[in-house]
């Protein structure tokens, strides 16, 4: 039967003008819609969406329209144009057609559906055996005693999409899921990019704190240089894909394949890709292949299947070896690791993996970690690998997040403008009595490490904007003649130069009313407060979910991509329902004792 299907597929490919792929979702809930029948009108070509709403259909040159049909939704015709990926929304009928109609729709398209999209999809609701690095909330520090705060700078955003997954499924989440800086830095901010002669621009704003009277908020924003995509250097990428048994869950490998399809479709001809898949033993699925041969790369991705143990150690070594063999001088050399992090063969501890990645980064190959799935998801390991491998870290919870990471933010995700980046904020005790860094608990550096060349900071991609928020207790009798609030210093290296560079700027921002602060300042404050509420922070003051909503609603700004609007929807979901959101501290301690 498989041979017949493949023969039909090959015959169809010979006649087709192109492939069109995409996703179908509900126009109201925005959830994927499965079993949608896609028909090429005035032709025999058909396909059916998998359980994640994904489809891929062959379209002849003379075809004009696609018809989307589902018993529970109104049919929709869409004119065929130059789509890299279609996003189709169907409107639900008032009364759903019965299951017989659904069965007929499946039968009509079964023989012509694309076999590579036969995976089942997201739908797991259990969250057992997930691991997260333990966080201890930052405290207020006396500016006269410990006047400087030093942090590693990067733009990891995994915590936001992972938190979103818990909220959408209404499952209690461990408090350590929430890393406040990753929530804040998930969003775009409208600070201007520096000129061509500068890698970074530093911006600051200072206003009163809405959740704590007599306290103030200081926002430090570091904006990276933005490069034109065509002018960015060629990429030498190795997709390191976990196909072990733990990835067989419906919300893991199928979504991983969809995400890498998005990335592949955004490759340029001058880029090249190799694929290493690993289970019990790693193997090279695809040798280094030019980005112009997208069909070959996509076929290798589609043919992946899960099974076996997780030989993470051997696979990482193999991926780095291939990246080094195909190393592009002055290019973007990177391993992209996609996994649930459940390594169980070879070196397994976070420290062992940390040592391995620290050693491998000296080759000049960077690391991007992508987390997938729920149940057995090891956030702690992936965070460790990305931080020690001069890398970045994202959690892919749905296809839209894959498009954000690999399409809309293609340049900033894959192209690094600075590495080993760390920032130090020195406060003036004449104006600041004490301060508290909001988030960055696992990225804070010790005072005796702030100026040594051995410090490992983070990486910053093209156009990235890194935001840090401080809650300030002003001095009892501030010196009104002293305008200096703080001083910001940045140390970094460029990807092609080991020389450490230095940048600093005095912050003399006057105190303004919160309601008159910029949209960016107020929205970042709303996200920060929400993170504190979810973590049940002792420092939330008078803040509550209603305050988050009020602030966020009035600070959406132009909101490209509608990510801020989506944040509002998440906040509304938990409004007055926070009892189920985070497991209680005493329950968490009991769980740890049992382990």
Beta-carbon-side half-sphere exposure of residue 251 (alpha carbons within 13 Å)? 22
Least confident of 69-83, 305-319, 360-374: 305-319
Of the ranges 154-163, 204-213, 228-237, 410-419, which is most confident? 204-213
Indicate whether 452 belongs to any domain: yes
CATH of residue 368's domain is: 3.40.50.410
Residue with tokens 């002792």: 538
CA angle centred on 55, ends 51 and 58, rounded to 5°: 150
Q: Which residues pair with 58 in a beta bridge?
A: 19
Q: Has residue 299 got a pLDDT over 70? A: yes
User: Is 40 strand, coil or helix?
Assistant: strand
CATH of residue 29's domain is: 2.60.40.1120
286 is in which domain, residue-wise? 235-386
Q: What's the CA gap between 335 and 563, in Å, rounded?
A: 28
Mean pLDDT of the chain: 81
Domain boundary among 386, 409, 434: 386
Same domain membership, residue 245 and residue 211: no
- Reference 394, options 162, 126, 191; nearest CA is 162
Q: Has residue 421 got a pLDDT over 90? A: yes
Return the pLDDT at 94: 59
Edge-first strand order for the sheet with 391-396 is 282-290, 272-278, 235-242, 332-339, 366-372, 391-396
Same domain membership, residue 246 and residue 185: no
- pLDDT exceeding 90 applies to what percent of the chain? 40
Indicate whether 513 belongs to any domain: yes
Same domain membership, residue 554 and residue 461: yes
Distance of CA 120 to the CA centre of its chain: 23
Q: What's the CA gap between 383 and 385, in Å, rounded?
A: 6
Indicate whether 61 belongs to any domain: yes
Tell me the pLDDT tens digit for each residue of 208-247.
999 999 999 999 999 998 877 677 889 999 999 988 877 8
**Residue of 16 and 218 predicted with greater confidence:** 218
Indicate whether 403 belongs to any domain: no
Same domain membership, residue 194 and residue 321: no
Q: What is the mean pLDDT of residues 385-414?
A: 82
Return the pLDDT at 10: 42
Q: What's the CA gap between 456 and 442, in Å, rounded?
A: 13
Same domain membership, residue 354 and residue 331: yes
Return the pLDDT at 311: 60
Indicate whether 434 belongs to any domain: yes
Return the pLDDT at 30: 66
Judge contact between 190 and 558, C-beta under 8 A: yes
Same domain membership, residue 373 and residue 334: yes
277: left (phi over 0), alpha (psi -120 to 50) or beta: beta
DSSP H or E segment with residue 19 = strand 16-26
Distance of CA 88 to the CA centre of its chain: 23
Sign of CA dihedral 519, 520, 526, 530: positive
Least confident of 237-241, 341-345, 385-389, 564-568: 341-345
Q: What is the mean pLDDT of residues 156-172?
A: 88
Using pLDDT thresholds of 50, 70 and 90, give the confidence band for residue 466: very high
Return the pLDDT at 135: 86
Q: Which residues pair with 47 in a beta bridge?
A: 38
Domain boundary among 117, 132, 152: 117
Tell me the whole-structure pTM to 2 decimals.
0.75
Same domain membership, residue 572 and residue 423: yes
Q: What is the mean pLDDT of residues 421-437?
A: 96
Q: Has residue 580 got a pLDDT over 90? A: no
Indicate whether 556 belongs to any domain: yes
Return the pLDDT at 104: 40
Q: What is the mean pLDDT of residues 14-20?
A: 63
- Reference 555, options 563, 564, 546, 566; nearest CA is 564
| Helix, strand, coil percentages, rounded to 5, for the chain | 30, 30, 40
Return the pLDDT at 100: 38
Total number of domains constituting the chain: 3
Return the pLDDT at 335: 93
Return the pLDDT at 21: 80
Using pLDDT thresholds of 50, 70 and 90, give the confidence band for residue 375: low
Return the pLDDT at 280: 66
Using pLDDT thresholds of 50, 70 and 90, give the confidence band for residue 56: confident
Same domain membership, residue 208 and residue 77: no
Domain boundary among 117, 150, 170: 117
Return the pLDDT at 523: 98
Indicate whether 400 belongs to any domain: no
Least confident of 30-39, 96-105, 418-427: 96-105
Residue with tokens 């009104």: 480
DSSP H or E segment with residue 530 = helix 519-534
Q: What's the CA gap between 242 and 245, in Å, rounded?
A: 9
Indicate whether 594 belongs to any domain: no
Tell me the pLDDT tens digit for each residue of 510-568.
999 999 999 999 999 999 999 999 999 999 999 999 999 999 999 999 898 899 999 99
Q: What is the mean pLDDT of residues 144-168?
A: 92
CA angle centred on 91, ends 45 and 93, rounded to 5°: 100
Same domain membership, residue 376 and residue 310: yes
Q: What is the mean pLDDT of residues 363-383?
A: 81
- How are beta strands 332-339 and 366-372 bridged, if at all? parallel
Same domain membership, residue 215 and residue 82: no
Same domain membership, residue 259 and residue 150: no
Same domain membership, residue 478 and residue 441: yes
Return the pLDDT at 187: 96
Judge contact between 431 and 175, C-beta under 8 A: no
Using pLDDT thresholds of 50, 70 and 90, give the confidence band for residue 310: low
CATH of residue 163's domain is: 2.60.40.1230
User: Is 171 strand, coil or helix?
Assistant: coil
Token pair listed for 36: 């949608």
Return the pLDDT at 340: 81
Token pair listed for 71: 């018993």
Q: What is the mean pLDDT of residues 246-272?
A: 86
């Amino acid at each position: 039967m498989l041979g017949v299907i493949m023969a039909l597929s090959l015959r169809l490919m010979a006649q087709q003008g192109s492939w069109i792929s995409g996703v179908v979702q509900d126009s109201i809930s925005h959830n994927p819609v499965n079993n949608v029948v896609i028909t090429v009108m005035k032709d025999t070509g058909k396909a059916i969406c998998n359980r994640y709403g994904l489809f891929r259909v062959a379209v002849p040159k003379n075809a004009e329209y696609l018809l989307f049909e589902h018993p529970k939704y109104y049919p929709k015709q869409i004119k065929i144009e130059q789509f890299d990926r279609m996003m189709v929304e169907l409107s639900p009928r008032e009364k759903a057609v019965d299951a017989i109609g659904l069965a007929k729709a499946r039968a009509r398209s079964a023989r012509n559906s694309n076999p590579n999209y036969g995976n089942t999809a997201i739908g797991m609701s259990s969250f057992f055996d997930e691991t997260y690095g333990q966080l201890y909330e930052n405290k207020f520090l006396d500016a006269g005693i410990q006047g400087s705060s030093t942090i590693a700078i990067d733009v990891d955003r995994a915590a936001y999409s992972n938190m979103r997954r818990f909220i959408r499924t209404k499952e209690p989440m461990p408090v350590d899921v929430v890393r406040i800086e990753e929530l804040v830095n998930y969003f775009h901010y409208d600070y201007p990019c520096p000129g061509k002669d500068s890698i970074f621009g530093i911006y600051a704003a200072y206003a009163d704190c809405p959740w704590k009277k007599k306290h103030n908020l200081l926002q430090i924003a570091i904006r990276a240089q933005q490069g034109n995509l065509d002018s960015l250097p060629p990429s030498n990428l190795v997709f390191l894909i976990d196909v072990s048994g733990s990835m067989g869950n419906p919300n893991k490998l199928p979504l991983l394949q969809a995400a890498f399809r998005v990335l592949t479709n955004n490759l340029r001809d001058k880029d090249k890709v190799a694929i290493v898949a690993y289970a019990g033993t790693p193997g090279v699925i695809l040798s280094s292949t030019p980005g112009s041969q997208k069909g070959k790369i996509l076929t290798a991705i589609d043919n992946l299947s899960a099974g076996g143990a997780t030989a993470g150690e051997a696979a990482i070594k193999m991926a780095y070896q291939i990246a080094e063999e195909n190393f592009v001088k002055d290019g973007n050399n990177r391993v992209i690791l996609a996994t649930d992090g459940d390594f169980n063969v070879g070196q397994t501890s976070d420290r062992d993996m940390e040592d391995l990645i620290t050693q491998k980064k000296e080759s000049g190959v960077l690391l991007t970690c992508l987390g997938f799935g729920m149940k057995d998801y090891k956030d702690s390991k992936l965070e460790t690998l990305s931080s020690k491998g001069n890398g970045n870290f994202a959690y892919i919870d749905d296809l839209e997040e894959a498009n954000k990471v690999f399409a809309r933010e293609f340049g900033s995700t894959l192209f690094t403008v600075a590495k080993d980046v760390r920032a130090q904020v020195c406060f003036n005790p004449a104006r600041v009595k004490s301060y508290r860094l909001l988030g960055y608990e696992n990225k804070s550096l010790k005072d005796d490490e702030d100026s040594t060349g051995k410090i490992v900071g983070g990486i910053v991609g093209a156009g990235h904007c890194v935001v840090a928020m401080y809650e300030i207790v002003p001095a009892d009798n501030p010196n009104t003649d002293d305008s200096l609030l703080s001083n910001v210093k940045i140390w970094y290296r460029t990807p092609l130069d080991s020389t450490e560079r230095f940048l600093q700027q005095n912050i003399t921002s006057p105190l303004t009313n919160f309601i008159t602060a910029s949209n960016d300042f107020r929205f970042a404050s709303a996200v920060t407060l929400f993170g504190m509420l979810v973590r049940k922070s002792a420092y939330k003051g008078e803040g509550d979910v209603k305050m988050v909503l009020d602030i966020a609603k009035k600070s959406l700004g132009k909101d490209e991509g509608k990510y801020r609007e989506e944040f509002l929807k998440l906040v509304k979901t938990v409004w007055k329902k926070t009892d189920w959101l985070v497991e209680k501290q005493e329950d968490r301690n009991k769980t740890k004792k049992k382990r």
